[in-house]
Structure 1
Amino acid sequence: MNRHTPQLRELERAEHRVLAALRCVDATTGAVIGSGLQLSAPGARLVRNLSGLWVVHSVSTPASVAAHAESFNTPPATPALGSEDLIITVREASGRYLPRIASVALPRDPAPDNAEADDSLFHPVDIPLYPASHAPLVANWAELRISLRDSGSNDALGGALVRVVSDGEVLARGLTDWRGEALVPVAGIPVTTWSTQPGAVIVSEIDASIEIYFDPDSGQRTPATQVLAGRVPGALPLVNPSDIESARAGLPQVSQAITLAAGRPLHLNLGIALP
């Protein structure tokens, strides 16, 4: 070694394994939301990296999952992959998107050969965010605005899941806010399309249905008088849309047939009979 070449000495080593990467996306377009986000989870350290991903660096509980962050070369054998849920609260500062809860299954699969799998440590978890009622729209989107009430008390129902379905395919989803109001843009509807009805070659509308599901345990009821007075409650609705989706068959619900057309707004006032 040349006597003028400096020798390097290791003074400190910091190695850790990240536990997951999260990516917040616009529910209508799938575009990544790059700024204005606040993510939090009890006992967890979440940091936004230079790629715009939110990285779960560590968790405090359960201890078996926390140990994964300190095991760089060989992850612990327990707990089983995906057996523990990290509950994350997502808020967007401008109010363009509604707040929500998301659940991420830990630990993630660390095998490089499985990097393309949905449960891989190397595959970011997408968290769709749903627009608030004042969010901007694109001219050729179908614009659905829904007002949801309890058909008995007339209370506004916040935190309800809205689905737009056509031919068995979910075209769009949305959430109601504290006033029971939801904006659900539907993108990708062609200006004209081939008709399935006899006597027509092309049409400018498609048949669909609105489905709305409300979970009384997680949703929020606001008296109509409070909504009319514009008094915002101290806490806004905060639900996990995926949980509502999974349990929808057993939840109070309402549906209605609609027709959709590019660039055309549609306003619906709907009620759900709550137990």
Structure 2
Amino acid sequence: MTWESIDNRILAALRFLDGETFEPLVDPLTVSGDAARVVRNPRSLYVLTQAPGFESYTGRFDTPPPPAATPFTLTVADPSGRHLPRRVSLELPRDASRTPVDPSRSVFTPVDVRMYLSPTARPAPGSAVVRLSLVDDDEVPLARWVVRIKVAVPDRPATVGLGLSDARGEVLLLVPRIPIIRWGQEEDDALIHTNFPATLEAAPTPSGAGPPDPDVPEASFTLLPLTLQVASGLEIHRRIQIPTS
């Protein structure tokens, strides 16, 4: 009997999260990159097993030190249409040591990637729904902008939702787990208020060909001069003009 040794490494594993619930997506996505090989495993993790310049590194374990840190980009699309296409930027290789200095950069730790909802996505029952139309000073739709909503609910951390504008400047923000209406226990008890104030912040994504990369730096966000009152199951529509010059 002849034994054959087959060694190979992985470069990264990615876990894609729903734009509303932030739960891992289990339905298949289309993930691609320049000369990349991505394999979806039974846990719905997308494993990057090959990328340009890493052929020797991934092909065997007894190799010299890994290549220098290199940026790499993947493109993700949701065939169901619930989420907008996006790019994901990674720095390869990730730390393959057993005791990484930064566990979040370990090859054994999946990279969480948030997907952004399409304006046509159906909200879950009870989510607060905010639909925005973004335009610039000349009334031109603003595509590729990230919008963040923060909802202030007493006695709990602020609830945050994120959205991405499509080619028409349309954004869908869904905020789940907003407290619902409850009546008091006695006849004269007042209705418990269930409208909560929410603020909006926006940031442009970097320009370039293909889908946007919405993972913009925190410092890029600007507070918008608009306060909303959101509630479980309530849908709000607003048009917002954002100066870009």
TM-score scaled by length of structure 2: 0.84
Equivalent residue letter for 2:211: L
The answer to whether the Cα contact below 8 Å between 2:129 and 2:233 also exists between their aligned partners in 1 is: yes
For the pair 1:103 / 2:89, whether they are aligned, the reply is yes
Equivalents in 2 of 1:111, 1:37: separation in Å? Answer: 29
Aligned partner of 2:125 among 133, 139, 163: 139
How many angstroms does 1:255 deviate by? Answer: 4.0
Q: What CA distance in whole angstroms lies between the structure 2 residues aligned with 1:77 and 1:141?
A: 46
CA distance 1:255–1:48, change in 2 (3 Å): farther
Tell me if the contact between 1:48 and 1:55 (Cα under 8 Å) persists in the aligned partners: yes
CA–CA distance in structure 2, aligned partners of residues 113 and 121 of structure 1: 11
Separation in structure 2 between the aligned mates of residue 34 and residue 173 of structure 1, nearest angstrom: 20
AA matched with 1:262 = S
Determine which of 21, 24, 39 is the counterpart of 2:16.
Answer: 24
Identity %: 31
Q: 1:58 corresponds to which letter in structure 2?
A: Q
Indicate the residue corresponding to 2:186 in structure 1: none
Where does structure 2 lack aligned partners over 5 or more consecutive residues? 183-189
Match of residue 35 from structure 2:
43
Deviation of 1:151 (Å): 2.3
Distance 1:52 1:77 in 2: 27
Please tell me the residue identity of whatever aligns with 1:268.
R
Name the residue aligned to 2:174: 185
In the alignment, what sits opposite 2:149? 164
Cα gap change, 1:169 to 1:105, in 2 (>3 Å):
farther
CA distance in 2, matches of 1:192, 1:121: 45
Matched, 1:173 2:159: no
Verify the 8 A CA contact 2:14 2:112 in the aligned structure 1: yes
Q: Which of 236, 239, 243 is 1:266 aligned to?
A: 236
SS in 2 for 1:208: strand
Using the alignment, how far apart are the partners of 2:225 and 2:76 within structure 1?
Answer: 28
Query: The residue matched to 1:257 in structure 2 has which SS?
Result: strand
Q: Amino acid of the residue matched to residue 189 of structure 1?
A: I
- Would you say how many aligned residue pairs link Structure 1 and Structure 2? 234
Is the 2:159–2:175 contact (alpha carbons within 8 Å) kept by the matching residues of 1? no
2:59 match: 70
Counterpart CA distance in 2 for 1:75 and 1:204 is 61
Distance 2:136 2:114 in 1: 27
Tell me: CA distance 1:136–1:201, structure 2 relative to 1, closer, same or farther (3 Å). closer
Q: CA deviation at 1:15?
A: 0.8
SS at match of 2:99: helix
State the one-letter code of the partner of 2:30: Q
Measured in 1, the distance between the counterparts of 2:34 and 2:179 equals 44
- The equivalent of 1:150 in structure 2 is 136
Letter in 1 for 2:243: A
Conserved 8 A contact 1:115-1:121: no
Normalised by the length of structure 1, the TM-score is 0.76
Gaps of 5+ in 1: 1-7, 194-199, 220-234
Deviations 1:145-168 (A, max 9, x none): 00011122x111111101012458
Q: Which amino acid in structure 2 is aligned with residue 184 of structure 1?
A: L
CA contact (8 A) 1:145 1:267 kept: yes
Spell out, residue by residue over 1:15-68, the C-alpha distance to the aligned partner (whole angstroms, 9 max, x if none).
Answer: 11111111111022122222341111112221212322111111113xxx4443
Please state whether the residue corresponding to 2:105 is helix, strand or coil. coil
| Structure number having the greater helix percentage | 1
